[in-house]
Amino acid sequence: DAKTTQPTSMDCAEGRAANLPCNHSTISGNEYVYWYRQIHSQGPQYIIHGLKNNETNEMASLIITEDRKSSTLILPHATLRDTAVYYCIVRSGATNKLIFGTGTLLAVQP
Amino acid sequence: DGGITQSPKYLFRKEGQNVTLSCEQNLNHDAMYWYRQDPGQGLRLIYYSQIVNDFQKGDIAEGYSVSREKKESFPLTVTSAQKNPTAFYLCASRPRHPTRSYNEQFFGPGTRLTVL
């Protein structure tokens, strides 16, 4: 299973875009990149996932580099409720297991 | 409402006692998972089950046991053999068949277990 590397923490001003980076240099061709977030003492919440192409949904956009070794999660207009730990995960294709790292604590400032 | 329930939210036990954490889902999902989270850490997989009457060990299965007798239920027993049982325990489920949410795991609210 490929490992991911994320910054420990980031700050973002309310109303601005939050760009959360993730490195996954050992990702293999059939492994997806997933993003989840966890608000304190709650279960993680799915945000978005992708394989090669950029993806967008009602919550966020996912930009994956052409070599697939890194990706960026974009929250276009961060609010205070987006303060959470964001996990970038590479999903095992064989078992569908999610391997969680320590994530990035995003603090949205008023 | 459809969802995953875990009860209780907080659980206290004495050292040396076994304790069973419940996880129930009415989403008609085939796969279910148990994770453990320690302070400041990510989630670690304990056990998972892709279908009724079948389950596999995750990365940290020692000291834990599970059963999957019904599709809706995946209880986790923390035994006295688990050296550091105090943690936040999260259950998740996922549909098996391809749907829009095929690849998405849905998490319960978690149970915080404290062993005294």
> What is the model's pLDDT at position B2?
65
Would you state the structure tokens that stand for residue B64, as one six-digit string? 């834990």
Q: Do B44 and A49 touch (CB under 8 A)?
A: no
Q: Do A100 and B31 touch (CB under 8 A)?
A: no
pLDDT in tens, A30-47: 888 999 999 988 899 999
pLDDT in tens, B18-38: 999 999 999 999 999 999 999
Q: What is the mean pLDDT of chain A?
A: 91
| A35 reaches B (C-beta below 8 A) | no
Cα(A5)–Cα(B64) distance, rounded to whole angstroms? 29
> What is the model's pLDDT at position A12?
96
Q: Is the pLDDT of residue B16 over 80?
A: yes
Q: Do B88 and A41 touch (CB under 8 A)?
A: yes
Q: Is the pLDDT of residue A61 over 70?
A: yes
The SS3 assignment for A80 reads helix
pLDDT in tens, A66-86: 999 999 999 999 999 999 999
